[in-house]
Each structure stands twice: as C-alpha cells, then as structure tokens.
Structure 1
Amino acid sequence: MFGQLGYGVVRGCSKALACAVFLCGSAVQAETVHLLALGDSLTQGYGLMDDEGFVPQLREWLADHGHDARVVNGGVSGDTTAGGLSRVEWSLTPEIGGMIVTLGGNDLLRGIDPAASRANLDGILEVAEAHDLEVLLIGMTAPGNYGAAYKKSFDAMYPELAKQYGTLYLDSFFAGLMTDGETPADVKSFMQSDGIHPNAEGVRRIVDAVGPKVEELIARIED
C-alpha cells in the first residue's frame, strides 16, 4: 500500500514538475511583436498580387530571419502625409508596439509645400511618442523639377524629424533598388509599367534593404 502511495506521490510530483517546466518555458518565449506599416500605395501593394506586396513580403522576410512579428498593412493608395495624420490615431490598436512610416510620395506628385508635409509627419511622430511607440521613418527624395529650394526643404525633413524624435531612419524606400548610384531608368526592370510602383522582384529587393532596419525596430521594442 505504501509502495502504491509513494508511486502516486512521485508520479504526481513528476506531472507537477513537467507542468512547471512547460509554463516557465512558455513564459520566456518572446511574444509576437505587432507593427503598423503606415503608408501609401507603396506600402499597400498597388498593382501586385496579395502575397507580392511590401507588407506580406516583409512578414515573410522577418519570419525567415527568426522573428515572430505581425505587420499590419496600413497603406492607402493615393494617401498623403495629411491622410496619414488623419488616420494614425485610430489605426493604433492596443497591441501595436511600433510603426513603419512611409509617406510623402503623393505629396511630391501634387507639389505640396514641404512645410505642410513636414508638419503632418511631425504630427504623426507626436502621436507615436504619445503612445510610447518606436518608429522607423522611411524618407523620400524630391526630383529637381520643383526647384532647388523645394528639393532641399523636402529632402531634409525626414532626417531632421528622425533626429528630433529619436526614431530609426532609412533615407529612401527605394534604397534596395539603388545601391550603387543607379537612376530610376536603371531599375526599370524592377518597376511596374507606370514607372512609379515596384513589381514583385522590386519589392523583394526593397524588403531586403528595409528588413534589417525593421529588425532594429523590433530590438528597440523588445529591449
């Protein structure tokens, strides 16, 4: 009888120990990091199949590099910095821990005053700061046809705002396509027929450049 009781006690303890080990192991596992990609058609994946756009390819890249990350597609085709500012607050659901901000391309296409674009980006970063969110700000480069003053003002707002708010910064969404000083004409094979939006291979190259910056963003969130 004592033997049966002793066996039962040992068996019960073993089960309890196994349960404790499982729970402890689960506790140390990293939680899923939730990111919001706030942007325009470049983020949304204009002209591409569902799995070919920036967000799904970034999700896959992060998974392949060992990250448990969920990236919410907050890209709206045609959106300006003003549009991003108008919707950033309600886009930040409680689980979001960081943002990737890629806006300004449509401001350029419309010739919007860089001062207005800067004020909108400033507003977006203020919202992120108020929510205690880490941010990766991805810049744009203005063409020369608006004049030197416009280009200087537009190009400068991204690094200056990144420094002001202490965000991570990447100088261009297209950095992965122009690694050796190529011009847009040189990367035509990676663009859709409109010459503005990347094709699936172009997005893959873009993600290869953006991915390490997003890893830095995740590291900041988890720190």
Structure 2
Amino acid sequence: MCLFISPEVAMARTIKLVALGDSLTAGYGLQPGQGFPAVLQKALQAKGRDVSVADAGVSGDTTAGGAQRLDWAVPEGTDGVILELGANDALRGLDPAAARKYLASILDRLKARNIPVLLAGMYAPRNLGPGYYETFDAIYPDLAKQYGLVLYPFFLDGVVGQARLNLPDGLHPTAEGVQVIVERIMPTVERFLDRVERGS
C-alpha cells in the first residue's frame, strides 16, 4: 500500500531562527522563558507557525562582540537570523562608523552562508546630540536598503520611556515590556518568515 504525501507535507519542517543580540535579546533581569526569543517562539507557534527561536543574546555585547562570536552563535542549519545589536555601542558613545562596519561584516558573512536576516534597528540616546544620533540611527535603514533586508526600525518601539514596561534601570524591558516588543514586531517577523520559506 502506497500513501501519497503532498510536496507541502513532505517539505514541512521546523524553521530554525537565531536571535543574535545583546541583553535586550538575552532577557536581562527576567525569569527563564520571559526573554524575547522564548516569547516570540511561543507567539509564533500560537499562530500555527512551526518555528524555533534560539537565544543567542549576550548581555553587554556590542556589534564588535557579535561579529566576533558569529560563527558559533549561528550554527549550521539556521534558516534565518534576527539581528539585534548596537544598543551598547550607542550607550557607550562608540563610533557609529565602527558599529556600521561590524554590522556589515555580520551581514556579509551571513549572506555568504545564504542565511537571511531580519535587521532590528536601534536609536541612539538623544542626549548624545544630533550629530551622533542622526548618524547612528541611519545605520539600520541604510544597511537594510544596501543588503535588501527586512527591517524593523526600532526594537524598543512602544517600550522605551514607559516606566511600567522597563526594569528600574530604565534600559531593559520587563516581562510585560517583552510582550509589547513581540506584539509590535510580529507582523515584521511573519513577513520575514514568508521570505525565508520562499527561499528569497
């Protein structure tokens, strides 16, 4: 007896995403399961998406640090990367040109491995002055255009400046804050997943 299996069923498999980031990805100050990768995975699965989201977040990491650990942080078999780095560069007032260079290096290396990227943007603190923050903020849309990436303009959209959604340090989201991030980024992630599944 031979059972016919449609190509769609035969090809069905878990899409493996890696969230490569800093403390905003790692879930600084939160309980296990409350960080961005775990909450995003649960939300995607609730929508019927067969997706796993690995947590490759390291608290305190800069774009340079992310570039340095890229090869082991994003293992073979990864279908897509959500890249969330740059907040620590901005908080430390590091040269935006260096952040751009390291992010471009990460993107070049992932492109060489045929791994698509969703780029999560970051805004620099406004107290650094317009000369700095305008240059820094432009990194993400510029790179997204250059590399043809799906862009989520600001990872902390809806959370930054909201006391109830942040830990006492005012920098890291609470569990509720992470929920807001996931709700807001979800349409972009789903658009990215559609692109990943099409192989484009």
- Please, what TM-score do these two structures have when normalized by structure 2? 0.94
Tell me by how many angstroms 1:25 deviates. 7.6
Report how far residue 219 of structure 1 moved.
0.7
Shift of 1:92: 2.3
User: Can you list the C-alpha shifts for 1:95-147, whole angstroms capped at 9, x where unaligned?
Assistant: 10110000011101211000001100110110111011111101111122222
Most deviating of 72-81 and 209-218: 209-218
Determine the structure 2 residue equivalent to 1:103: 85
**Whose Rg is larger?**
1
Q: Aligned partners of 1:214 and 1:114: how far apart in 2?
A: 26
Q: Which amino acid aligns with 1:96?
A: T
Q: Shift in Å at residue 91 of structure 1?
A: 2.0
C-alpha displacement of 1:210: 1.3
Q: State, as a whole percentage, how many aligned pairs show the same letter.
A: 45
- The range that moved more, 85-94 or 203-212, is 85-94
Which of 22, 32, 42 pairs up with 1:60?
A: 42
Partner SS state of residue 169, structure 2: coil
Q: What's the C-alpha RMSD, in Å, of the aligned pairs?
A: 1.5
| Secondary structure of the structure 2 residue equivalent to 1:174 | coil
Kindly indicate whether residue 97 of structure 2 is the aligned counterpart of residue 115 of structure 1: yes
Q: Within the alignment, does 1:191 sit opposite 2:173 as a pair?
A: no
User: 1 CA distance for matches of 2:174 and 2:100?
Assistant: 29
1:200 aligns with 2:175: yes
Which one has a larger percent helix, Structure 1 or Structure 2?
Answer: 1
Which one of 99, 117, 142 corresponds to residue 135 of structure 1? 117
Distance in 1 of aligned mates of 2:190 and 2:28: 25
Tell me, which stretches of 5 or more residues in structure 1 are unaligned? 1-15, 178-182
Aligned length: 198
Match of 1:216 in 2: 191
User: Structure 2 unaligned runs (5+)?
Assistant: none
Given candidates 113, 129, 132, the residue that maps to 1:147 is 129
Give TM-score, length-normalised by structure 1.
Answer: 0.85
The 1-side partners of 2:150 and 2:77 are apart by: 20
Answer whether contact 2:84 2:120 (CA < 8 A) is retained. Answer: yes
Shift of 1:220: 0.8
Equivalents in 1 of 2:11, 2:158: separation in Å? 32
Mapping for residues 24-63 of structure 1, pairs under 5 Å: 24=6, 27-28=9-10, 30-63=12-45
